[in-house]
Structure 1
């Protein structure tokens, strides 16, 4: 009975971990550039002892990475809203160093420094600070040009640092950003192109995530019933021992 209870409890714990992954995906269904997390379950056979048979298998949740599919492009008309075509990522700075994101919702802070979700955007020569300008243009190669507040000629001021790593070499952090697995900064890739006036939507399939969440709820209920059955069997065994 103890083994049955332990197996059911382990299965319930695994389902709760899977539920948290699905819930996080659903919560970010409208987050710009978000990549859905995946789950993978590993069947771990418990080594039998004595004359026991190999009948006990425990489920263990493992990190399966993230959904690499690109999200849909939504037009915004705002020039600093950028979406990467096909493959590639923008570079931002964090306390841990360089990180990478598909979100191109770039906003200047009070000093004119470009940020994404409050994190400094990296250019080829470091952070990008916008001077006062009358108009702004972003080329498909990430070059940022402005027409000064006094008019005159259009002047290029910086170029975004964009990278194009193999996604299998990247890991996703708790903050939703991507990091290289070896911890080293990635080199800029000039082949990455962007579209100004668009944002990439999340690639979360809300309906699929909701159905998966409902299925996990049913599985959890089954594990709870097994734990209750183990409890009843234990109580029955105790009564037999007392009446013996």
Structure 2
């Protein structure tokens, strides 16, 4: 009875957390390059004197779904998508991070950035686009500056840092960016290629997530009924003890 109450109580709490994960995925179903978060439940024994009969149900985010999202043609020369495996390196507030969102723009200083304001990392540093030019991005990540006065004139600026670390080495942050678990910077991989003129959509399957939301709500209701059953059992046991005393 004691075990039933604790399992149901913690199960209800962490079912709510799982619902939040599902809701977060659904909210980002149209976010460029978004990777759906995965969650799972596990049982954890309660440690300490007097807790031998108690166990907890805990929900935890086990990682992210790293499968590719659908390609969406935009026709914008500054929109790129990873062709297959790989990541684009950007500079975040905590250091180098990685994204699949290839929606770029040039700011007022000429820096190539993502639309969210993160500086796109080149293999030798940030990429600065000269005035009176427009950037051109090749499939290998090479960025060139094409003169607006003479389109035949093009100068290579640098190469976007494209990486392809093992999936097990990556972890997703609260900002939606990925980083190496050890905190180091990944090495550039020349085998990673880009597709110009389009973006990769979110890999969230809305039907699966809506189904998961319904199932999670039903699971929460079940946990609440289990707590009520445990309370009723405790009351009945108390009455029997009073009658026998």
What is the match of residue 168 of structure 1?
A: 168
Deviation string, structure 1 residues 112-149 (Cα, Å, up to 9, x no partner): 21112111111111111212235432110011112223
Normalising by structure 2, what TM-score? 0.89
Trace 1:74-223 onto structure 2 (pairs within 5 A).
74-116=72-114, 117-151=116-150, 153-223=153-223
When structure 1 is superposed on structure 2, of 148-157 and 183-192 the one drifting more is 148-157
Matched, 1:8 2:11: no
Give the C-alpha shift of residue 175 in structure 1. 0.5
Deviation (angstroms), 1:3: 3.5
In structure 2, C-alpha distance between the alignment counterparts of 1:11 and 1:27, rounded to whole Å: 24
Cα deviation per residue 1:145-191 (whole Å; 9 max; x = unaligned)?
12223326111112101111111111111111000011111111111
Contact 1:132 1:149 in 2 (8 A): no
Give the alignment's Cα RMSD to 1 decimal.
2.4
Distance 1:46 1:14 in 2: 16
User: Partner residue of 1:70?
Assistant: 68
Alignment partners' CA distance in 1, 2:118 and 2:159 = 17
Q: Does structure 2 retain, via aligned residues, the 8 Å contact 1:133–1:146?
A: no
Whether contact under 8 Å (1:112, 1:131) holds in the other structure is yes
Which sections of structure 2, spanning at least 5 residues, go unmatched?
Answer: none
CA contact (8 A) 1:114 1:129 kept: yes
Deviation at 1:82, TM superposition (A): 0.5
Give the distance between the partners of 1:78 and 1:17, measured in 2 at CA: 39
Partner SS, residue 121 of structure 1: strand
Instruction: Give the structure 2 partner of residue 22 of structure 1.
Output: 22
Q: Decide whether aligned partners of structure 1 residues 121 and 134 sit closer, same or farther in structure 2, where only a CA change above 3 A counts.
A: closer
Of stretches 124-133 and 71-80 in structure 1, the one that deviates more from structure 2 is 124-133
Deviation, 1:5, is: 2.0
Moved more, 150-159 or 38-47: 38-47
Equivalents in 2 of 1:21, 1:195: separation in Å?
A: 31
User: What is the TM-score with the length of structure 1 in the denominator?
Assistant: 0.89
Deviation, 1:2, is 4.0
Distance 1:6 1:149 in 2: 69
- Counterpart contact for 2:129–2:135, Cα < 8 Å: no
Deviation of 1:242 after TM superposition, in Å, equals 6.2
